[in-house]
Amino acid sequence: MTGERTMKRMILGLAALGAAMSGTGAARAADPVTLQLKWVADAQFAGYFVAKDKGFYKDAGLDVTIKPGGPDVNPEQVLAGGGADVVVDWMPSALATREKGSPVVNIAQPFKRSGLELTCRADAGVKAPSDFPGHTLGVWFAGNEYPFLAWMAKLGVKTDGPPGVTVLKQGFNVDPLLQKQAACISTMTYNEYWQLIEAGMKPAELVVFNYSDQGEATLEDGLYALEPKLKDPAFAERMARFVKASMRGWQDAQAHPDEAVKIVLDNDSSGAQTEEHQKHMMDDINKLTKDSAGVLDPAAYARTVAVLLSSGSDPVITKEPQGAWTHAVTDAAGLGTP
């Protein structure tokens, strides 16, 4: 932990210097920061859009570019390729990427809770996890499959077809459930579940298995940067300002959800989002970020690692990660405790 303490001292020193400069009215050019999102511009990322729209990043001396993601965008690859300074990603994907050699580090954790679910048609006869075998289950890939695979391993259910489950590589829509191509599909509390409801399905027609309720929750939507870049005190101090301003954005989205939705819609260049859906999303996103200071909870990290190490003969990660997270950035930002 000596390196961690040294990094904290350097960041705190630079943060104090920056504060002193701003207090004397010293002119500074805004420092550029590029953020790569995990998915398209929607309420899942409202805090960042609010921080940019309301000038919180500008107040912090930052010029932030927010890059939307999509089905063909891997945040970790963008980060490794120099296309972003910081990315939003789920921890299972980040830890798997780190074990493969890319030195990604969690620097902040705005989302305290998981929104991942497996949602089934009630008429498919799946009433409990013991009913999964023999059915087709829709699963997202590109790093999002890891929590599912860990859960099935814990249940002792094979994922290569009968007598286990047949895995359908799910697109980023709910069509497989609507068209009865799968008994269950992956959903998020704040997004795909509401797509099913908006498509005409009623809650009574759905059976929902929340990963948190099943003891299989892993951390989602953390902020990650590259370890070598964090060794540069100036970059680390810039990340501290970015994280602090971002959390100011998330707190504002909590306090003013309708305004946050309007800001998100203004940033949706595709025009695909609707106000109704974004309001549903914002309400549920705020449940996941409620009371978050943006600081990673080591206990939640340990639970995530335990879930990933439990994946049977094909684990998501093969050993306890080392150096995969740091409090240096959130400490320098003055964000307190988890």
Parse the chain into domains and list their residue ranges. 2-113+218-332, 116-210
The answer, yes or no, to whether residue 17 has pLDDT greater than 70, is: no
Does the pLDDT value for residue 1 go beyond 60?
A: no
Question: Cα–Cα–Cα angle for 75, 79, 82, nearest 5°?
Answer: 140
**2-113+218-332 and 116-210 in the same fold:** yes
Which of 37-51, 102-116, 182-196, 309-323 shows the lowest per-residue confidence on average (mean pLDDT)? 309-323
Structural fold of domain 2-113+218-332: D-Maltodextrin-Binding Protein; domain 2 (3.40.190)
- The answer on pLDDT for 329 being more than 50 is yes
CATH class held by domain 116-210: alpha beta
Mean pLDDT, residues 2-14: 55
Residue 259 phi, psi dihedral angles, 5° rounding = -65, -40
Alpha carbon distances (Å) from 256 to 109, 198, 261, 283, 286: 21, 24, 9, 11, 10
> Does pLDDT of 192 surpass 50?
yes
Determine the Cα–Cα distance for residues 228 and 238; give it in Å rounded to an integer.
Answer: 14
- Tell me phi and psi for residue 188, to 5 degrees: -110, 145
Query: In sequence order, what are the residues at sequence separation of 6 or more whose Cβ sits closer than 8 angstroms to the Cβ of residue 15?
Result: 237, 240, 241, 332, 333
Rounded (to 5) percent helix, strand, coil in the chain: 45, 15, 40
Q: What is residue 81's predicted lDDT score, i.e. its pLDDT?
A: 96
User: Residue 23 pLDDT more than 90?
Assistant: no
Q: What is the pLDDT of the chain when averaged over all its residues?
A: 91
Per-residue pLDDT averaged across 309-321, rounded? 81
- 291 CB contacts (<8 Å, ≥6 apart)? 112
- Which pTM value belongs to this model? 0.90
- What is the Cα–Cα distance from 150 to 141, expressed in whole angstroms? 13
pLDDT for the residue 273: 92
Report the range of poorest mean pLDDT among 67-81, 267-281, 311-325. Answer: 311-325
Instruction: Answer whether residue 109 shows pLDDT above 70.
Output: yes
The answer to whether residue 6 scores a pLDDT higher than 60 is no
**pLDDT 10s digits, 48-107:** 999 999 999 999 999 999 999 988 889 999 999 999 999 999 999 999 999 999 999 999
Report which of residues 7 and 328 the model is more confident about.
328
**In this predicted structure, what is the pLDDT of residue 334?**
97
Q: How confident is the model at residue 20 (pLDDT cuts 50, 70, 90)?
A: very low
